[in-house]
Structure 1
């Protein structure tokens, strides 16, 4: 027994498991017919497999792509992209709106796949579905406005007519992660596709059935199949090939791999967007509603077993309410229901695999060995499944401990206390990451002011992460080591386009004319510039 297990046993931490698996099994969901249907267009003669976190068993045999197969996928996509770009944008957008409806109609299918491939609780799988539906609706409605040509004031009003056009980049290469296989695959693909691009996607092998199901559904909604190519294989093998051939690269994953992707894209002078790691902070101010903050902390820290780039791993609580907050937060955490049923009811599911389990155990055990106090959790739960780990709260964490600065990406949060709000802001910002943060207070105005001082791409007041992420008209992404670029809103679609300015000069050139010599032309233009400023032209 490790130190943390012994401590947990002593304090009686034992979240209950939900009822055994329901009537549906993996064999009922992932049939040979489904695998054949979803993988029919995957280019690859090799064989690989993915596995179920709930049991550790193999889920499906899959085709495996080679670097040469990636080249073929890009060749097919480039041919298809030509006619797709010529399709009117409103017709492209209509595909997204039909896809939106199909996702809601057939949600049970994808929820089962998400759970089987990631091990997450069903409600957390549904959060992915919500995010995809919102993005499909938004870009289905707004894409024409984002992409239509725009008129701008020319250098000389009335004489210079300027139009900004937006052209698709060509073929977008997308490398999607395992933790949110529906939202972070098709959710990022939607704006790229509606902008007129073709797509070559490499989903994580362990969660590729979810991504392939999404592809199948959007084809049913009207997308030409050749426009959307999928390749399957190890990241170090075919990931660089994606970067090597794409006209733009979209990557979500670790900061370490993100740097490699950025270097590869920079060498080719192609654009890249990166959503990377986080060590996100939640600030609970002295006037926060303690019950609401404690309940919110459970959602913020333990959704998808903490395997969420925007989840909270550092919790800063004002000294005056810290004892009461920790007590209520710990009580809620200890009462959480863990389970692996393909049904609603569990409040947390499994970690995705051995690597995540080992990182989580290492961070917790090291912290306890060096003096941190285990408030809740801290133990694996092989009685439920091979990669289950109890939601864990640590107190007394200090900087030499790995859990203090490294991203755990598991159900672990560390408690810190502060006495001054300026101190709390400084502590929250004292990290190389800058993805998401959270502020809790009854004074909304003060909460928003503090939020604006936090160096993260999104900040939520009185919630953990969902409001900022779900508000898709606004940009979402990271500062510092948490990434480059943004998803959602105008930035989330325009990044997949090239801007072109067309300037039509009329009546007279921008040069000496009508008998003016250089000196008279210079004087004329100087006077014109003064007049334009006085007229408040921009």
Structure 2
């Protein structure tokens, strides 16, 4: 494994001050530290519950006017925002790397996704949000139109692993639908979210419509949920359960993309070189700190030896680095906690008899939280890495007798977020048998994530609700039925007895049940 050096640009203090001014905060200061070298990046205001209330009140007031603006204006503003993200990508890529530590190509995935999402919903929202005619109870006499009205104010709680994309890509459809937003980014990576909000404002989004609060989720989350009309959360399954319970008490909806222990299946008829190349990307993008990344690989016996050799050869050749350039294939973990968790999983597996085929150790010579991309074999059920999400650059390789065993083991997990199947002929059939919200054939995760027109989310302990597709926007709206009754009422007319009315309606209903839809 080779390394690339850190090249650190100067960050304009005036630029940081502009970003800090976006935060609704009055409770002291919050320091943002770069995982690349442990140095401070910025000091921001810290928020408290009163600040959350101020941000909510401002967003709610601004939302009323925003919802009255024609949809074509809202669409145009968010389409413009998508273009601005592309135009400012160099600065955004630097900021993502400095704040999160991922390699530059993984950072580019964030920028490109935001632009794609903005373009997609600017294009499709007219179809999704226009009024639809529905059938009334009495043909001709009852007319019904279904409208889609915004929820009001949406709370978005975004994680540190994709600090730009998961902050703003979920906000875009909420805004186009006519909502206000209060965003609580992870405390470790708020600068990317602030840069995103600044670009939204440049595009024409009213300043108060999107508020940002910075602080611990345990301190700010409950007050935020109490004050919003819908919650979008991305994070751990444990926290997702708490948020869903809180939303249930408030009788508001929520969508949550949670954890995963995602499987990849290589069948005997797969293109081995292509599968090995795809598996590297699927396992080690963003140093494995990706909800949809692969942590388990099941290979049919006939292909195991060839795949294991090709895969470990590619992994061993990966370039580690913390430079702000395009040279590194894998960057750093984002925190000391992440490093400790990854190291514990690998150490436990090795102590219990697993074999390290590639990687297997931390690299403090490169950066304080860098860990080598690691491939394990001989993993057994008693090892922590077997069933618990690692969320780091570690994957376990398993030999299986055939597709049936691979599917059974792939499904033997409380999670069901993403999966991957590699095969020349059998991929589609096997994919349908895997219990996951998305299953890619001859691809790891990028095709599923990038196909914005298709819904994406988890089953089982991997979450509820969907982002992308129609549901990714409609979840931020309420359906409202407006009905107009002509001439006759549905109730019995004057001087007609209830019995006579019921006999007449029974005949009418019997006739309607014979009419084909």
User: For residues 486 and 293 of structure 1, what CA distance do their matches in structure 2 show?
Assistant: 28
For the residue of structure 2 that corresponds to 1:95, the secondary structure is: helix
Matched, 1:74 2:56: yes
**Within the alignment, does 1:49 sit opposite 2:49 as a pair?**
no
SS of the residue aligned with 2:325? coil
**Structure 1 residue 515: Cα displacement:** 6.3
* 1:512 to partner: Cα distance: 2.9
Quick check: 1:503 aligned with 2:503? no
RMSD over equivalenced CA pairs, Å: 1.2
Report deviation, 1:365: 0.5
Query: Which structure 2 residue ranges, 5 or more long, are not aligned?
Result: none
Displacement of 1:400 = 0.8
Report whether the alignment pairs 1:334 with 2:316: yes
Q: 1:530 offset after TM fit, Å?
A: 3.3
Q: Tell me if the contact between 2:436 and 2:458 (Cα under 8 Å) persists in the aligned partners.
A: yes
The separation in 2 between residues aligned to 1:479 and 1:433, in whole angstroms, is 7
Q: Which stretch of structure 1 is more off in the superposition, 405-414 or 509-518?
A: 509-518
Partner of 2:191: 209
Which residue number corresponds to residue 371 of structure 2? 389
Does 1:522 find its partner at 2:502?
A: yes
TM-score by length of 1: 0.94
Correspondence 1:16 to 2:2:
yes
Alignment partner of 1:140: what SS? helix
Q: After the TM superposition, which residues 90-101 of structure 1 pair with which residues of structure 2 at under 5 Å, given as runs?
A: 90-101=72-83
Q: Check if 1:32 corresponds to 2:13.
A: yes
Residue by residue, what CA displacement relative to the aligned partner does 1:288-331 show, whole Å, maximum 9, x if unpaired? 10000000000000000000000000101001110110000000
Q: Is the contact made by 2:22 and 2:194 (CA closer than 8 Å) also made in structure 1?
A: no
Aligned ranges for residues 371-520 of structure 1 at < 5 Å? 371-443=353-425, 446-513=426-493, 516-520=496-500
Q: Secondary structure at the match of 2:478?
A: strand
SS in 1 for 2:432: helix
TM-score for the superposition, normalised by structure 2 = 0.98
Q: How many residues align?
A: 516
Bigger drift between 160-169 and 298-307 goes to 160-169
- Offset of residue 532 of structure 1: 2.7
Q: Distance in 1 between matches of 2:206 and 2:160?
A: 26
Q: CA deviation at 1:514?
A: 8.1
> SS in structure 2 opposite 1:463?
coil
Which segment is superposed worse, 345-354 or 504-513? 504-513
1:179 has 2:145 as partner: no
SS at match of 2:188: helix
Once the two structures are superposed, residues 401-435 of structure 1 have per-residue CA deviations (whole angstroms, 9 ceiling, x without a partner) of 00001000000000112112122111111111110
| Pairwise CA distance, 1:516 | 4.9
5+ unaligned residues in a row in structure 1: which ranges?
A: 1-14
Separation of aligned partners in 2, 1:448 and 1:515:
65
- After superposition, what is the alpha-carbon deviation per residue over 1:254-295, rounded to whole angstroms, capped at 9, x for unaligned? 111111111111111111111110000001111110000000
After the TM superposition, list the runs of 4 or more consecutive aligned residues in structure 1 that deviate by more than 6 angstroms: none
Task: Say whether 1:300 aligns with 2:300.
Answer: no
Alpha-carbon distance between aligned partners in 1 of 2:279 and 2:334, rounded to the nearest angstrom = 22
Alignment match, 1:192: 174
1:222-237 mapped onto 2 (5 Å cutoff) = 222-237=204-219
